[in-house]
Amino acid sequence: MNDIIGFRPPAPGSQPDNNTPAYGSTRARHPLRPLLAFPHTITEATGPAFSPTHFPPHTDLSVMNGKLAQGERIIVRGRITDEDGRPVPNTMVEIWQANAAGRYFHPLDTHDAPLDPNFKGDGRVFTDADGWYQYTSIKPGAYPWRNHKNAWRPNHIHYSFFGPGFATRLITQMYFPGDPLLAFDPVFKGVPDEAARNRLIANFDLDVTQPEHALGYRFDVVLRGRAATPMGI
Amino acid sequence: MTTLTTTALAATAAQTIGPYWHLIEDPAMADLTRFGANGEVITLIGTITDGDGAPASDACVEIWQSSPAADDKFPGYGRCAPDATGTFRFTTVKPGPVPGRGNTQQAPHIAINLFGRGIMTRLYTRAYFEGDPLNATDPLLGLIDEPARRATLIARPEGANIWRLDIRIQGDNETVFIEI
């Protein structure tokens, strides 16, 4: 008897629909057929573990080769828990972002904004035993993206989380408080539930802010929790 | 019994990986044998197309699988950026069967996540192996009645130790995607 426990399904309204017409690129990139319902097995209930030995942390994006990147230096700190409030320890978190001018260090980004020779925009951190992570970066700029007339992405940082199972895998974006572009962004607004959507916005945090050094933001993340019933029952 | 002090909340919402995720790409992650795994080394290859028939060259493909036997040199996880034709390519070992729910057994398979610009969350599917006798009793394949639909999950041999599973996100021959 296999007693591995799967993960609970997403709460209604908490996740965006892959068919989000306001985000034009979803038109040809969402399946038309319904997803196949299949209870989690060992394949979905387990997931990769990453070692800092093979994946060295890179926790300060604001400096390259000893030289400071342009822009407003920020510290982002947060805690990763599951849906029962239990911390997710020693899990790898990957981050990537545009520079302060709103330009990615990427060949496909042709936005007419300057690259910064001292900023690449990739980072990797691991949570500690109590689920906390922290990194230093610069505040990314907004950039245009042609999704609709005069479309601009709000300031955001991309995140990749793993957690304990392939089912807990999460790719998302963190936004900044008070950004007027959020109201016009179909990616952000693609999350139906307003409270769930607003949890993608970091909070300014004076306790994380370091005097004479950097503004601090707090961004907590919740990964899926275990289902109550073992799969074998 | 531990008392939980944090208010329980639903899992954080997903957002698209976007077209610039290559900032975290490491081509070494497409080779799951790089630490010296034991087993039959195979290549898993496939071309991803969207509903317009266009290659999803900016997508992110991830795999997760068992090793044939317990192996601490096998990471189980791989990630690959498709080329300009939308084709991904992993070097890995052929998995063995794994337990299913209850007393069932699952045929050898590789779990696949697909992220990309225009994909808000992720698309999840599996690659099975054509000709494996366990496919006939696999609990997941058994849920798919139409042979043509089932075939979208079955990789076919394409030369020595090369297995191909093309992924069609939308439309004709649309891949069976699985709830996760």
Are A200 and A188 a contacting pair, CB within 8 Å?
yes
Catalytic option among A58, A111, A158, A199: A158
Q: Would you state the pLDDT for residue B50?
A: 98
CB contact under 8 A, A26 and B54: no
A58: annotated active-site residue: no
Residues in A touching B10 (Cβ below 8 Å): 10-11, 14, 83, 196, 222
From B44's Cα to the closest Cα of chain A, the distance in A is 18
Chain Cα centroid distance, residue A120 = 18
A153: annotated active-site residue: yes
Residues in A touching B119 (Cβ below 8 Å): 18, 26, 29-30
Q: Would you state the pLDDT for residue A229?
A: 60
Identity of the residue in A15, A109, A124 whose CB atom sits nearest the CB atom of B121:
A15
pLDDT tens, position by position, B100-156: 999 999 999 999 999 999 999 999 999 999 999 999 999 999 999 999 999 999 999
Identify the residue among A5, A29, A84, A174 best suited for mutation to test binding to B, counting B beta carbons within 10 A and taking the highest.
A29
Assess whether pLDDT exceeds 60 at residue B52.
yes
pLDDT tens, position by position, A18-57: 999 999 999 999 999 999 999 999 999 999 999 999 999 9
State the number of CA atoms in the 13 A half-sphere of A142 facing the CB: 15
Are B82 and B63 a contacting pair, CB within 8 Å?
no
Residues in B touching A37 (Cβ below 8 Å): 143, 179
Distance (Å, whole) CA A196 – CA A4: 29
CB burial of A85-95 (b: ≥16 within 10 Å; e: otherwise) equals bbbbeebbbbb
Length of chain A equals 233
Q: Which fold has domain A56-223?
A: Protocatechuate 3,4-Dioxygenase, subunit A (2.60.130)
Judge: domain B21-168, CATH 3.90.1300.10.
no
Q: Would you state the pLDDT for residue B7?
A: 52
Domain residue ranges in chain B: 21-168
From A215's Cα to the closest Cα of chain B, the distance in A is 24
Identify the residue among A17, A27, A36 best suited for mutation to test binding to B, counting B beta carbons within 10 A and taking the highest.
A36
**Mean per-residue pLDDT pooled into runs of 10, chain A (233 residues):** 81 96 98 97 96 95 97 98 96 98 96 97 98 98 96 98 97 98 98 97 98 98 86 46
CB contact under 8 A, A83 and B10: yes
Q: What are phi and psi of A196, to 5 degrees?
A: -65, -40
Catalytic option among A23, A133, A135, A143: A143
A197: annotated active-site residue: no
Distance (Å, whole) CA B101 – CA A1: 8
Are B173 and B152 a contacting pair, CB within 8 Å?
yes
From A163's Cα to the closest Cα of chain B, the distance in A is 12
Distance (Å, whole) CA B80 – CA B69: 24
Assess whether pLDDT exceeds 60 at residue B33.
yes
Identity of the residue in A25, A41, A95 whose CB atom sits nearest the CB atom of B101:
A41
